[in-house]
Amino acid sequence: MLFWFTFALRLTLLGIPFPLARDGEPAVTIIVEEGAPPVVLEAASELQGYTKKVCGVTLQVKEHGNDHDAAVKIEVVSDLEVSNPETSFVTLQGNQVRIRGATPTAAAFGVYAFLEDKLGIRWFAPGEEWEHVPESATPGTLVVEVENCEYTPTTSPRVWEGYDWSPKWREWKMRNRVVVGEKVPWKGTPFNGLTRPFPPSIYGKLYPEFYPMIGRERLIPWGHQHNWWPCTGNAEVRKMLIDSIREWFEQNPNEDCFSTWLDGSYFICGCELCIALDATAEDYANLRYSSRYYKFINFVAGEVAKTHPGKSIGMLIYDRVFELPADVPKLEPNTFGYLVDSRVSQWVFPGKKESWIANSRNWAARVPNLLRYDHFGLATFSPEFFPHSPG
Q: What is the DSSP string of 301-326?
A: HHHHHHHSTT-EEEEEE-GGG-SPPT
Evaluate whether residue 190 is within a structural domain: no
State percent of the chain over pLDDT 90.
Answer: 61
d(CA 389, CA 121): 17
Express each pLDDT in 61-109 by its tens digit: 999 878 788 999 999 998 888 888 899 999 999 999 999 999 999 999 9
Confidence band, pLDDT 50/70/90 cuts, at residue 384: very low
The reply to whether 138 and 205 lie within a common domain is no
Q: Is the pLDDT of residue 2 over 90?
A: no
The reply to whether 38 and 125 lie within a common domain is yes
Question: How many distinct structural domains can be found in the chain?
Answer: 2
The reply to whether 239 and 318 lie within a common domain is yes
CATH of the domain at 104: 3.30.379.10
Predicted TM-score (pTM) of the model is 0.67
Dihedral pair phi/psi, residue 309, rounded to 5°: -60, 145
Dihedral pair phi/psi, residue 246, rounded to 5°: -60, -40
> Which pLDDT score is estimated for 181?
81
Query: What kind and span of H or E run contains 374?
Result: strand 370-375
Taking each helix axis from N to C terminus, what angle separates 235-251 and 290-307, rounded to the nearest 10 degrees? 50
The reply to whether 48 and 149 lie within a common domain is yes
The reply to whether 149 and 204 lie within a common domain is no
Among the listed residues 338, 313, 207, 319, the one whose alpha carbon sits nearest the alpha carbon of residue 268: 319
Can you list the pairs that 97-100 forms with residues at least 24 positions away whose Cβ atoms lie under 8 Å? 97/18, 97/28, 97/71, 97/72, 97/73, 97/146, 98/73, 99/72, 99/73, 99/74, 99/75, 100/74, 100/75, 100/76
Express each pLDDT in 260-288 by its tens digit: 877 677 899 999 999 999 999 999 999 99
Alpha-carbon dihedral angle through residues 121, 96, 32, 87, given to the nearest 10 degrees: -60
Evaluate whether residue 233 is within a structural domain: yes
The reply to whether 121 and 204 lie within a common domain is no
> Which pLDDT score is estimated for 187?
61
Among the listed residues 203, 231, 208, the one whose alpha carbon sits nearest the alpha carbon of residue 296: 231
Q: Is the pLDDT of residue 192 over 90?
A: no
Q: Is the pLDDT of residue 3 over 50?
A: no
Among the listed residues 323, 207, 335, 327, the one whose alpha carbon sits nearest the alpha carbon of residue 261: 335
Evaluate whether residue 181 is within a structural domain: no
The reply to whether 107 and 213 lie within a common domain is no
Express each pLDDT in 342-360 by its tens digit: 666 677 788 888 988 899 8
Express each pLDDT in 197-232 by its tens digit: 899 999 999 999 999 999 999 999 886 677 899 999
Which range of residues forms the domain containing residue 56? 4-154
Confidence band, pLDDT 50/70/90 cuts, at residue 174: very high
Confidence band, pLDDT 50/70/90 cuts, at residue 191: low
> Which pLDDT score is estimated for 387?
59
